[in-house]
Structure 1
Amino acid sequence: IHFLSCSILCMLKHRIHSVEAKGIQLPYDSIPKMISSLSNITQTVFPEGCYFSEIVGKRKELFERLGIPLPEPETNIEYEEDSALETEE
């Protein structure tokens, strides 16, 4: 898990530096502030699907300027854990 999180961090930092090199202004003045803002996005899972916390303001601006698509709700998802339980029954 540590390796994956470090890899994602490196990818994010690379994207931030690439955007800044193009002269695009980002809504936050430092990478730690950007990461802190992104870490507050949550996903809630319900039996009928999952939903993300609303992304507005500076966070939405950050997603747009970095070229990251906004997460969308997902419905009618089948999770591996659920299908494994059904198979056992």
Structure 2
Amino acid sequence: MNVCYKVHISGKVQGVYFRSSAQQQAIDYSISGYARNLSNGDVEVLLCGEQSNIDNMLAWLAHGPEQAEVDSIDYEQVARQEHHFFSIG
């Protein structure tokens, strides 16, 4: 069963290829949704897919790509949304 989570990542997460790396991970885990920069320097990610794949993606988001310095990650399950791919906004 597919579920969706909205994730908020804080730290040094802009300008370090966080979104494009998240997109590649999402593709690898068959997850749809998006990653976008927020005006305060954080990143917001929407993940939709199988729960086990979401769990793996959340674990990856907790540290992000090599250049990132994740200070915190908050997430909540949200209403299921229909996305056909993982986009960067």
Q: TM-score, normalised by structure 1?
A: 0.29
Structure with greater contact order relative to length (CA < 8 Å, sep ≥ 6): 2
Q: TM-score, normalised by structure 2?
A: 0.29
Q: Which has the larger radius of gyration?
A: 1
